[in-house]
């Protein structure tokens, strides 16, 4: 199917910024949609942002105006620029990809291993 590797997480002060990257690999895969989800301890995993091949984006209300998702189609890489970070943004952020693979165009959905984002003074 496809392998996803996230990077860019870390510790940042409130009001700071981070840029997450997710690189997808797998020549037989055809990715249609990529996005970011996050999960804080004791909470359910939630959708943060998605982007389609034509550039359409969608954001959860809590990050609108602060986060921006973008994608490099040729490099199969998706980014999440996070500005004005708040303590409630602290979570493990997971990359997600959905598409098809193989001669029969079988559908797939894949998750990355996650990268920790901690917003704290």
Query: In a 3-state reduction of DSSP, which class is residue 80?
Result: strand
Structure confidence at residue 58 (pLDDT): 97
Structure confidence at residue 84 (pLDDT): 98
Query: What residues contact residue 118 under an 8 Å CB cut-off, 6+ apart?
Result: 10, 11, 12, 90
pLDDT digits (tens, 9 = 90+) for 11-36: 999 999 999 999 998 766 788 999 99
How far apart are alpha carbons 28 and 101 in whole angstroms? 6
Structure confidence at residue 61 (pLDDT): 98
Structure confidence at residue 73 (pLDDT): 84
For 94: left if phi > 0, alpha if psi spans -120 to 50, otherwise beta; the answer is beta
Closest CA to 18 of 86, 74, 100: 86
- 């890489």: which residue's tokens? 77
Ranges of residues in the chain whose predicted pLDDT is under 50? none
Closest CA to 2 of 22, 21, 28, 20: 28
């Amino acid at each position: 199917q496809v392998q996803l590797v996230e990077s860019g997480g870390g510790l940042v002060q409130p009001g700071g910024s981070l840029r997450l990257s997710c690189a997808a690999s797998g020549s037989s895969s055809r990715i249609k949609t990529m996005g970011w989800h996050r999960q804080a301890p004791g909470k359910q995993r939630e959708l943060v942002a998605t982007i389609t091949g034509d550039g359409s984006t969608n954001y959860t209300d809590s990050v609108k105006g602060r986060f921006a998702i973008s994608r490099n189609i040729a490099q199969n890489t998706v980014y999440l620029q996070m500005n004005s970070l708040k303590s409630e943004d602290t979570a493990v952020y997971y990359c997600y990809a959905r598409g098809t693979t193989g001669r029969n165009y079988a559908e797939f959905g894949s998750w990355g291993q996650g990268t920790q984002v901690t917003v704290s003074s």
